[in-house]
Structure formats: structure tokens, C-alpha cells
Structure 1
Amino acid sequence: MRRTDRFPISGPNSLWQIYKTVSFWKVFKNVIIIMIGRFVPFMAMKNWLYRTCLKMDIGPYSSLAFMVMVDIMFPERIKIGRNTIIGYNSTILAHEYLVKEYRIGDVIIGDEVMIGANSTILPGVTIGDGAVVAAGTVVHKDVPAGYFVGGNPMQVIYTKEQMENRQK
């Protein structure tokens, strides 16, 4: 189960009431910073922008490829470890707005993780050190360290032990 805080709402759906949960000005600023960051070709500059302006925790030498979309409402709840690659056009969400509630959860991506292009990381998920996420995967639950996962729904392709045996 993902680790999210759940907030029930009454009345119209939770997305209709978005600015009761997060400041309009925070979202406005974040959207501008993220749109700039999605196109910046220099990793050090992109990481600096996200660390400084969005308060994201990004380890040294981590790379967010062209067009990676980070959460516009709660980017400070995303932690990316050292020397990790997030592939082209992937999305990292720390929130989800539903009809009768909204949920917020930390996303923790370990060291030396490889996330393939067009993947979606849902809130409340931890991806362990050295894990590999295949392109196009929807990560809806934790990924143990060293595992290779893929698909929608996400499934284990290789465990850490199987991955180590393949490399021998």
C-alpha cells in the first residue's frame, strides 16, 4: 500500500476545490519553474533550479531528462538520490485529487536508480537503490532495492538476486 495522507472533502470534487488545499501563488510559481526546468538542457542548472526554487531534494549527479514533469503542487515532497536517471517525459506525482478526497504522499527515489521514459511515479512510493523501472511503467507500489520492474500494472521482471546472477 502506498503511504499517503488522506483528506476527505465535502461538496464538489477535490480538484474543483484545489486552492483550499494549496496556494494559487505557490502553484503558479511552481508551474513557471517546472516549465523552464523541463526544457533546460544542463543538468546542474536544472537541479539547482529545482533544489532552490521548488525545495526538492535531488542528490548529486542525478539527471532529469528533457520534459520530465515533477509535481506542481507539492514538489518539496519528492526526494531523488545520487546518480539517478529519470527518463524522458516521465511524471513524478506527490498528490492525487479524487472525487471525495485528495491524497498527498512523499516520493522517495534511491541512489543509482534508472527510470525509463514515459513512466509515472504515483504518490507515497519508494523506489530502492539500484532499481530499474522499465519505460512506460506506472509505479503504484514500492520497488525494492535492485529490482527490475515494468508494465502497467507494474510487475517484477527480475529480483535483485536474479539481476546479480544475470550480470555474472
Structure 2
Amino acid sequence: MRKTDKYPVEGPNSLWQMYRTVSRWKAVKNFIFIQISRYAPSLPLKRWIYRSVLGMKVGEHTSFALMVMVDVFFPERIEVGDNTIIGYNTTILTHEYLIKEYRIGTVHIGSHVMIGANTTILPGVTIGDHAVIGAGSVVHKDVAPYSFVAGNPLRVIREDVRLTEVIDKGEG
């Protein structure tokens, strides 16, 4: 179950009213720095932009691959642990604008997580430590620690990836 705060709107759909929820200046500044970080080959530069300019919580040795798109309106609601890899062209959203309401939720990504390329992470989800997300997945619900999930809709492929490590080493 995603954890989001819901805000009803009157009149036209909520996207037409987005600048009531976030300032234009913040949106433009975030967009510029997100675009720089999408193309920058330097992982330390990306981490500095995410932490210092966008206000994200990003752990040590966490890597954001080329073309990762973080939420432009509320990037400060993204938290990523240590030694995590966010794969190519992944999108991390913390907001969703709907017809009669908008929703905002914090995204928590644990430590030692592997997120495959072209994944979309929706607002309000928690991805546990050591989880593996298959490429092209849509993460619309919480992911347990050590689990391997993939697909759209998201489904559990393996509940405990530690078992795979033991088998791979010939110990199982």
C-alpha cells in the first residue's frame, strides 16, 4: 500500500493548478539541475546536486545511472540509502496529479538496492534493503527487503535473494 497524502481540488484538473502547490521558480530550478544530473557522467557531481541543490537524502556510494529522472516538483521527498544503484532511465516520482486531486508521497529506497533500467517508482513506496527490482518494472507498492521483484504489475520473483547467493556459491 502506497503512503500518500491526498489533496482535493476544485475546478479544472489538478495539473492545471500545479503552481498552487509548488512555485514556478522551484520547478524551473529543479528542472535545470535535474537535466544536468541526467547527463553528467560524474557520480560525485550528481550526488552533490541531489543532496545540496535538490534536497534529496542520498547515501554514500549510491549511483544514479545516465538519464535517471527524479521528481521535478518534490525531489526532497526522495530518500536513498548507501551503496544503491538506480538503473538507466529510471523515473522516481513523489507526486501524481489526477483529475479531482493530487497526491504526494515520500519514496524510501534502502541500502544495497539494485534497480534495473527503465523502472518507474511511484509516490509513497518503500523499497527495503538489498532488494532487486527487475528492469522495466513499475513499483506501485512496497518491496520487502532482500526480495526480487519485477514486472507491470509488479510481482515477487523471489522472496529472499540471499538464498540465491548461497546456491550460486555452491553451498545449497
TM-score in terms of structure 1 length: 0.98
Q: Give the alignment of 1:12-161 within 5 angstroms.
A: 12-160=12-160
- How big is the alpha-carbon RMSD for the aligned residues of Structure 1 and Structure 2? 0.6
**Separation in structure 2 between the aligned mates of residue 82 and residue 147 of structure 1, nearest angstrom:** 17
What stretches of structure 1 move > 6 A for 4+ residues in a row?
none
- Cα offset for 1:167? 2.0
Name 2:2's counterpart in structure 1.
2
Residues 40-95 of structure 1, C-alpha deviations (whole Å, 9 max, x = no match): 10101110111110000000100000000000000000001000000000000000
Q: SS state of the match for residue 15, structure 2?
A: coil
**Separation in structure 2 between the aligned mates of residue 17 and residue 64 of structure 1, nearest angstrom:** 31
Query: Which structure 1 segments of 5+ residues have no match?
Result: none
Amino acid at match of 2:50: Y
Aligned residues: 166
Name 1:167's counterpart in structure 2.
165
**Separation in structure 2 between the aligned mates of residue 167 and residue 49 of structure 1, nearest angstrom:** 35
Residues 6-30 of structure 1, C-alpha deviations (whole Å, 9 max, x = no match): 0000100000111011101100000
Residues 109-145 of structure 1, C-alpha deviations (whole Å, 9 max, x = no match): 0000000000000000000000000000000000000
